[in-house]
A and B are shown apart, each in its own frame.
Chain A
Amino acid sequence: MNTIPFGPRNEPDSLLAKAAELPKDVAPARDLWPSIAARIAGEPQQARSRSFGWPAALAAGFLVASVSALLTWGLMRDTDPAQPPPVVIAERVGTAIVPVSYGPNSGLTSKEIVARDDLLARFQERFTELKPETREAIKKNLAIIQAAANEIDAALAKDPASGMLKSLLVGAYKQELQLYSTVVTSSDGFTRRT
């Protein structure tokens, strides 16, 4: 299919399906994290390029896709109950924006949180320049995603094996990343000039 390769949410969906097909008791063939980290590290330079196209949009879309795939694999794999994966609860990052905090039952690892926070840092650069009502809408919706994450976490405490709950958690996490990505890529034109 000849689609434009920047629909950042299309890619995660296909990756989601692929991730669900992964064997549940083996490690992935390669660690996705180094390529994600490399992309993150390279993005500021790409965003300032004056070349045709929109590398920042592609990079941000790739980031959302990669992080979502990483998260999906992590959540959908079977875990040894005796050795649960390390869980990191995201904290406030010292600005007016409060990123979503995922609870102890989410299964999110430090890698997923770090990846999210790198995108968040770029988002915050743009956030302060948005219209006040837009900023308010974003804050309100982050709070809604937070409430959803809390609700899912509480449900996972009761039913930790639920595939439905894990799928909903992936969805909430993707929505948070997508929000940041949309603001960053929509502002791409400004970064070209600075």
Chain B
Amino acid sequence: MTIRNMVLSAAILAATASPAVGAETITKNATVAPDATVEVSNVQGSVEVTAWDRNEVQLVAELESSKDELEFEATERMVRIEVDRPSGKYHNDEDDAFLTLHVPKGVRLIVDTVSADVTVTGVRGEQSLQSVSGELGTQAFDAPVNATAVSGEITIVGNGGKAVVTTENVSGSSTVSGIRGSYTGEVVSGEIRANVAQADRIEANSVSGEIAIQAELSSTAQVEMETVSGTIALTIKPPVNANFDIETFSGDIENCFGQKPRDTSKYTPGSELNFTQGSGGARVEIQTLSGEISICDR
């Protein structure tokens, strides 16, 4: 299909998509490539996405507000779904929009919401999920997953695949389990709880939030964690073969491997702890200004 035809198809489908009038349910279907991009934007309510074996996107939209308009544009390579609402009218409790989608399992999925919750099941392509205050929940397989929220909770459950998983949150918590390989987590005051198998790379940082990571490190793993005033707890599955570089300006270091931190200067309250556990190989760097750091293997 030429680019011109794709654009034309999108225009035709957009023109034939009926805007919502009053509270109603709208159903749309489009045949797409198995690895098409599906982009969804909603304000409040929910977005539920479930993968299936058909090369087809099916949308069932339930709109409570007569002011909402549903846009549905589709080409073979891309589907764009958006609930449009007049500016300034998007946090009335009675005006939810519920979007239920079925998509091919290999699609690249992009979802943006303001307060709508997002639930994704079975999508194996790349995912980018973002919400201000909605909750985000998905599964990770082998493709990258990026979830960003301000106050919403983030939950990512892996199936043991080697996905690159990233969570970014402000005050909500991020819970990540069952992933393998790479994880990056950032939070301001919320919490990060992650469990990473055969980790090659872990990065986590917070301002005042709590970071708790359980990891099995590969022989060349790189772990970088920092917090200004929060807590960092790193639990490494034995056997532990890693080089540790830990530094604090005025915080505390707790090390169950036995080595004691030393003062970095007689003029400042800082301390540091550098040691090799086992045969080394993996590299662990952790730093804090005034927070608490603990490392352990149990």
Genuine A/B complex:
yes
Give the chain B neighbours of A164 by CB distance below 8 A: 226, 247, 249, 287, 289
Q: A188-B41, A189-B41 are in contact. Are A134 and B249 (CB under 8 A)?
A: no
Interface size band for A: 35 or more
Is B85 part of the binding interface, using a Cβ–Cβ cutoff of 8 Å? Answer: yes
- Contact residues, B179-199 vs A (CB, 8 A): 184, 186, 188-189
Q: For B229, give its contact among A133, A151, A178, A182 (CB under 8 Å).
A: A151
Contact segment of A1-9, A27-35, A103-111:
A1-9
Give the chain B neighbours of A129 by CB distance below 8 A: 87-88, 90-91
Are A182 and B130 touching (Cβ within 8 A)?
A: yes
Q: For A141, give its contact among B188, B203, B205 (CB under 8 Å).
A: B188
The total of chain B residues at the interface (CB under 8 A) is 62
Residue contacts A-B, CB under 8 angstroms, 30 given: A1-B164, A2-B126, A6-B110, A7-B128, A10-B166, A52-B80, A54-B112, A129-B87, A130-B132, A130-B133, A137-B150, A137-B171, A140-B189, A141-B170, A141-B207, A144-B189, A144-B207, A151-B229, A158-B267, A159-B268, A162-B249, A165-B249, A167-B226, A168-B289, A172-B228, A186-B132, A189-B84, A190-B84, A193-B84, A194-B87
Q: For B249, give its contact among A54, A159, A182, A185 (CB under 8 Å).
A: A159
Give the chain A neighbours of B247 by CB distance below 8 A: 164
Q: A134-B133, A141-B170, A168-B289 are in contact. Are A54 and B39 (CB under 8 A)?
A: yes
Encode A6-40 as 1/0 by CB contact (under 8 A) with B.
11111001000000000000000000000000000
Encode A176-194 as 1/0 by CB contact (under 8 A) with B.
0011001101111110111
Q: Look across to chain A and name the residue whose beta carbon is closest to the beta carbon of B227.
A: A168
- Contact residues, B1-17 vs A (CB, 8 A): 10
Is B282 part of the binding interface, using a Cβ–Cβ cutoff of 8 Å? Answer: no
Is B114 part of the binding interface, using a Cβ–Cβ cutoff of 8 Å? Answer: yes
Are B168 and A178 touching (Cβ within 8 A)?
A: yes
Are A186 and B113 touching (Cβ within 8 A)?
A: yes
Q: For B226, give its contact among A171, A185, A193 (CB under 8 Å).
A: A171
Are B86 and A193 touching (Cβ within 8 A)?
A: yes
A179 to B146, CA, bound (A): 15
Encode B86-119 as 1/0 by CB contact (under 8 A) with A.
1110110000000000000000101011110000
Q: Which 10 A-B pairs have the closest CB atoms?
A: A189-B41, A148-B228, A137-B151, A134-B133, A193-B84, A7-B146, A131-B91, A141-B188, A148-B207, A164-B287
Q: For B290, give its contact among A1, A13, A151, A159 (CB under 8 Å).
A: A151
Q: How distant is B246 from chain A, measured CB to nearest CB, in Å?
A: 11
Are A137 and B170 touching (Cβ within 8 A)?
A: yes
A27 to B29, CA, bound (A): 55
Residues of A in contact with B (beta carbons under 8 Å apart)? 1-4, 6-10, 13, 52-54, 57, 129-131, 133-134, 137-138, 140-141, 144-145, 147-148, 151-152, 155, 158-159, 162, 164-165, 167-168, 171-172, 175, 178-179, 182-183, 185-190, 192-194
Encode B230-256 as 1/0 by CB contact (under 8 A) with A.
000000000000000001011000000
